[in-house]
Structure 1
Amino acid sequence: MSFTLATWNINSVRLREPIVLKLLEEEAPDVLCLQECKSPVEKIPLEGFKALGYNHMVARGQKGYNGVAILSKIPMEEAGSEDFADLGHARHIAGKLENGVTVHNFYVPAGGDKPDREINEKFGQKLDYLTDMRDWFKAEKPEKSILVGDLNIAPREDDVWSHKQLLKIVSHTPIEVEHLAETQEAGGWVDITRQDIPAGLLYSWWSYRAKDWDAADKGRRLDHIWATGDISNSGHGSRILRDARGWEKPSDHAPVFATFDL
């Protein structure tokens, strides 16, 4: 069985329903994982998604904040959710596909503006969230699993437009990169995007603050697709749909894709 999966921080699934439908129509991934849905589950606009064949959904929602959802053409059942760092936020949902693959969809806290937990509570929450993820993966020892989402960290030097200038900027600081690496190692996760595209600048997010995001191209790779080692060799076809960043009323993130033959 071959299936294509996409992950996208949509920054309000109701406000941006038209571009979600555009993606589903034009790209037709078998599974679409959304973050920052900013909607209670019951208000996610399912009718249009179902009309395109996405008859299965698992989700966790919150009014106006956070929220994660997995839409699937493939039969899928909910496989739980965790409240890491006890934040009370809708930041994780898992779904198990009929082929036995578990998909974890994450929205890791952004961490605020200052990379110092002593003066910025949100940065501390981000580090604690990653620590809890790490410990959970150590205990769970995931198998036949895919992890996707807005992890809000660009780990490599070529995942940001300027490594030197972003070393003290939240999302690329050494302590965040270290926490993410520990989380990845704990679950035996393989970065599928970088397995497929091992070198070169690669971004999935461009700030709304830039007058011309495309020309400035000051991006970061904050959105990720990982797989456990037992299925990582089946992953291929990774790409980032940069054009979606320029669609009407866009998210500041672009969708990331990978295909798995399982």
Structure 2
Amino acid sequence: MAPFSIATWNINSVRLRIGIVEDFLREYEPDVLCLQEIKCQNDQFPAKAFKKLGYEHHAVHGQKGYHGVATVSKHPLRDVSSTDYCGKGDTRHVHTHIDTSSGPIGLHNFYVPAGGDIPDPDKNEKFAHKLDFLDEMKRLKAVQSSVPQVLVGDLNIAPLETDVWSHKQLLKVVSHTPIETEGMHEIMQLGGWSDVMRQHFPPEDKLFTWWSYRSPNWDESDKGRRLDHVWTAPELAAKLVDVSVLREARGWVKPSDHVPVIARFAL
């Protein structure tokens, strides 16, 4: 039996980049794809394109021009819900249940606020919002009502020294500051989450999922960060087969600045 695969990708406008999304789905055929920053309202989501490729089940939580998350699946999605973190009305989260041959799993799809440029909550409202968002995420449990959970998405934090191109140079840069990385570790510890990307790729190895648009020679300079994550309940982590980070996608035509991550499980 083929592994059950879950992909996550900050697409930075699904309508603008539907072509490369279709190419990705044709080649890699994940069971489920979680998208962030879809940047469209629900009725503007290109549902027909996904259905043509066999992804008939959609959980879309969008808004005009900003943010937005969507989970598309070959398998039925049930109990779809979303949480309005920090009560700002932003569409940054959607949760679903999926029935697998090993039983149901829950799937969280997140787009955590980037946090602006100044890592000081007193001077930067966006950074304060990000920290508040992380505080609210500390309630999330890896097992809810006896159902093991998966949490994926653009979490906008690179927690390990090897998740950034230069730990020393980025210590005071939003996404790698101690207050953010410690907040992420606390979410994981309190919730009982396993970082399955770092289960597959040794923590001492550099691992990136994002390269800035501002870097014209992104591949050569390789100043990346690991901002996209896959966490699971321990019982699902024990069933991990492998993880792929599609670095080459950063060089596709009209790319996102993030690349897809695919986690495969023996379910």
TM-score range normalised by the length of the shorter chain: over 0.9
Query: What's the counterpart of residue 153 of structure 1?
Result: 157
Separation in structure 1 between the aligned mates of residue 164 and residue 242 of structure 2, nearest angstrom:
22
For normalisation by structure 2, the TM-score amounts to: 0.95
Give the corresponding residue for 2:72.
71
What RMSD, in angstroms, separates the aligned Cα atoms of the two structures?
A: 1.5
Structure 2 counterpart of 1:37: 38
Task: State how far apart, in whole Å, the 2-side matches of 1:139 and 1:96 are.
Answer: 12
> 1:243 is matched with which residue?
248
Are the equivalent residues in 2 in contact too, given 1:143–1:230 (CA < 8 A)?
Answer: no
CA distance in 1, matches of 2:140, 2:196: 21
- The farther-off stretch of 210-219 and 141-150 is 141-150
> Which residue of structure 2 lines up, in the alignment, with residue 125 of structure 1?
129
Deviates more, 1:96-105 or 1:159-168: 96-105
SS at match of 1:6: strand
1:211 match: 216
Residues 192-244 of structure 1, C-alpha deviations (whole Å, 9 max, x = no match): 00001123000000000001111111000000001011221111211100011
CA contact (8 A) 2:142 2:148 kept: no
Question: Which deviates further from its counterpart, 201-210 or 128-137?
Answer: 128-137
1:1-262 aligned at under 5 Å gives the runs: 2-99=3-100, 100-137=104-141, 143-198=147-202, 199-262=204-267
Shift of 1:131: 0.3
Structure 1 residue ranges, 4+ long, deviating more than 6 angstroms after superposition: none
Structure 2 gap segments, 5+ residues each: none
After the TM superposition, which of the residue ranges 141-150 and 156-165 deviates more from structure 2? 141-150
Q: Which runs of 5+ in 1 are unaligned?
A: none
Contact preservation (8 Å) 2:114, 2:156: yes
Which letter does structure 1 place at the counterpart of 2:244? R
The whole-number CA distance in structure 2 between the counterparts of 1:191 and 1:63 is 32
TM norm structure 1: 0.96
Distance in 1, matches of 2:208 and 2:176, equals 13
**1:111 maps to amino acid:** G
Q: What is the DSSP-based 3-state SS (H/G/I as helix, E as strand, rest coil) of the residue aligned with 2:120?
A: coil
Match of 2:235, SS state, is: coil
